[in-house]
Amino acid sequence: HHWSRNRNSLVTNWPVLGMLPGLFCNLDRIFDFFTHDILDLCGGTFKFKGPWFPSLDFVLTSNPMNVNYILSKNFLNYEKGSEFREIFKPFGDGIVTSDSDSWKSQRKSLHSIMLKNNKFVNYQDIVFRQVLEKGLIPVLEHIVQQGTEMDLEDVLQRFDYDNICLLALGFDSKALSVSFPEVPSKAAFNDIEDSLMCRYLMPVIIWKLQRWLQIGEEKRLSKAMKIADHFLYDCISSKREKLRSRNRVEEDEFDLLTALLVEQEGEILTVSGKISDKFLRDTAFNFMAAGKDTISACLSWFFWLIATNPSVETKILQEIKANSPTSKDRNMILFFTGEELNQFTYLHAALCETLRLYPPVPINHKNSIQPDVLPSGEHVDGNTRILVSFYSMGRNEEIWGKDCLEFKPERWISENGDILHVPTYKFSAFSAGPRTCLGKDMSFKQMKLVTINVLWNYQVELVEGQPIAPSKSITLHIENGLKVRIKKRDI
């Protein structure tokens, strides 16, 4: 009887287990499963029934009207929620998992530091330059001389980690150097991300039991948390120590911790303890988690797409040539201001196209507060998990047309050669509404500087026969990395 009542469902709804077996059978291709096996066939919104433990039911959607409603129009009814905060406890009271007043005040403070504070904005440029000049380019030069294959995704993740540690903590982790060192804090952050993804997919009772017994993923998580916290609290106490001995802060050390301490305690750095170490730890952890792997994920997909679409690479190279100094010094790093980078329209389009097909944050979590009716007509109970699939939105034929699975930067360029404006509820890689990504402009700037410098100086060739597939993680990596050979480019 149960089977016959549910036989028309896209995913079999089993007694007791609900749709969990279907989900687990497709875990390796979870985002394509959501997109092509479910949302494409049901008009963009689907109610997933979990097992009889109540916590795993969710509504999955990629319908742009629903997305606009959830993320913007009725924002107040859709929060992160206490269940999410419990799963993502390592984030503490930071911005990524918080709601209402706590979120509002953190958003205000981070917004004013990241986008309005000239010293922090200048410091970003100093850091980008340093990580390019002292990290990425020397490592690529070394690989060219060795003539060996390398995992470009690993290199870019190391680049991202060095960058985010300098921005958040003013600490140079030197993850990107020719010896490819093991960096315990970097490994710990990765372990935390993996373990939290497992928690998210599991019934609460199971991960709580694992935590109590200290086995499996929960044991790994506890170990990684100790390492990450030790690292963060060490950085915080050295920062306080350093600032105590000064009465002014130089431009090349205006990282997030410094900005927070200066903002709270004024220019005269008494470092009086008005602002707690726990607050600094939570803010730095959230900032690092939000910015750590997103840029490298996008760049890895970008280099793969470029290598498989040589005509796009040719157009980007023409654009770099047109915007660069005429005499090309082989060892020169090309550095552009934000305004100069606006000239790179085609490159911007290629990056948007990459973010459309491979959004670094593939799924966005929300939790309804009150019962509601979505614009598509579906009824949503109060306290229901909602998953907005940004991955599926980027592959939605109704938004992007019949060629939605093709890589075509041209779709972003208007007839007069400018970037087309696409509303954020259709192109949501950076989310939309009041919780939109605070690192968007910074990310575009950095992604452009990296792609310009890599493509201008090197030819990137894919190692043949490697499998390329999206990972099943919080950030959308390439599952097995991106194996490439690089050569010096002759122009």
Estimate to the nearest angstrom the gap between the alpha carbon of 303 and the chain centroid: 17
Task: Compare residues 188 and 442 and give the one whose CB is closer to ligand HEM.
Answer: 442
Between the alpha carbon of residue 314 and those of residues 161, 308, 317, 319, 491, the distances in Å are 30, 12, 5, 9, 11
Q: Which two tokens mark 223?
A: 């170990």
Residues 6+ apart with CB under 8 A from 339: none
Q: Where on the chain is the footprint of ligand HEM (CB under 6 A)?
A: 95-96, 107, 110, 287, 290-291, 294-295, 298, 360-361, 364, 429-431, 435, 437-439, 442-443
Q: How many CA atoms lie within 13 A of 317 on its CB side?
A: 17
Task: Compare residues 31 and 269 and give the one whose CB is closer to ligand HEM.
Answer: 31
Task: Compare residues 96 and 399 and give the one whose CB is closer to ligand HEM.
Answer: 96
3-state secondary structure of 370: coil
Is 437 marked as a binding-site residue? Answer: yes
CB of 137 to ligand HEM, least distance (A): 21
Do 325 and 121 meet the contact criterion of CB atoms below 8 Å apart? no
Task: Compare residues 20 and 96 and give the one whose CB is closer to ligand HEM.
Answer: 96
CB of 298 to ligand HEM, least distance (A): 4
Task: Compare residues 18 and 359 and give the one whose CB is closer to ligand HEM.
Answer: 359
Do 468 and 490 meet the contact criterion of CB atoms below 8 Å apart? no
Between the alpha carbon of residue 222 and those of residues 182, 192, 270, 297, the distances in Å are 20, 9, 35, 26
Q: Could you tell me the sign of the dihedral formed by the alpha carbons of 259, 263, 265, 266, in that order?
A: positive
Estimate to the nearest angstrom the gap between the alpha carbon of 294 and the chain centroid: 3
CB of 176 to ligand HEM, least distance (A): 16
Task: Compare residues 260 and 437 and give the one whose CB is closer to ligand HEM.
Answer: 437
The C-alpha atoms of residue 268 and residue 244 are separated, in whole angstroms, by: 9
Q: Which two tokens mark 401?
A: 């047309």
The C-alpha atoms of residue 220 and residue 212 are separated, in whole angstroms, by: 13
- A 10 A CB-CB count for 73 gives 14
Task: Compare residues 281 and 435 and give the one whose CB is closer to ligand HEM.
Answer: 435
CB of 165 to ligand HEM, least distance (A): 11
CB of 215 to ligand HEM, least distance (A): 29
The C-alpha atoms of residue 190 and residue 180 are separated, in whole angstroms, by: 16
- Residue sitting closest to ligand HEM (CB): 439
The C-alpha atoms of residue 311 and residue 306 are separated, in whole angstroms, by: 8
CB of 188 to ligand HEM, least distance (A): 19
CB of 14 to ligand HEM, least distance (A): 31
CB of 86 to ligand HEM, least distance (A): 16
Do 162 and 173 meet the contact criterion of CB atoms below 8 Å apart? yes
Q: Cite the annotated binding site for heme by residue number.
A: 437
Q: Cite the annotated binding site by residue number.
A: 437
